[in-house]
Amino acid sequence: MGIFAVVYYSQACCSFSEEQLITLARKAEERNQRLGITGFLQYRDGHFFQYLEGGLVRLRFHRMQE
């Protein structure tokens, strides 16, 4: 099984405070570690940019959790 990557860009449903973004990042980091996924999350001007990589099965499982 190889490593796969997913990149996506999305519009936030609402504005996020700095505290909310920190909480979101911490939760995502914990979940990604548990699933064996690595990545990058950026929030800017009401939009998210995310890069995830890991095994295909792990990435699919991550997607189902959202």
Domain boundaries, the chain: 3-65
Q: Which of 39, 50, 60 is nearest to 12 (CA)?
A: 50
What pLDDT shows up at residue 35? 81
What pLDDT shows up at residue 34? 85
What pLDDT shows up at residue 22? 94
Q: Which of 3, 9, 5, 13 is nearest to 41 (CA)?
A: 9
Which residues of the chain are modeled with pLDDT < 50?
Answer: 64
pTM of the model: 0.70
**Domain 3-65 belongs in CATH node 3.30.70.100:** yes
What pLDDT shows up at residue 56? 65
What pLDDT shows up at residue 57? 58
What pLDDT shows up at residue 61? 56
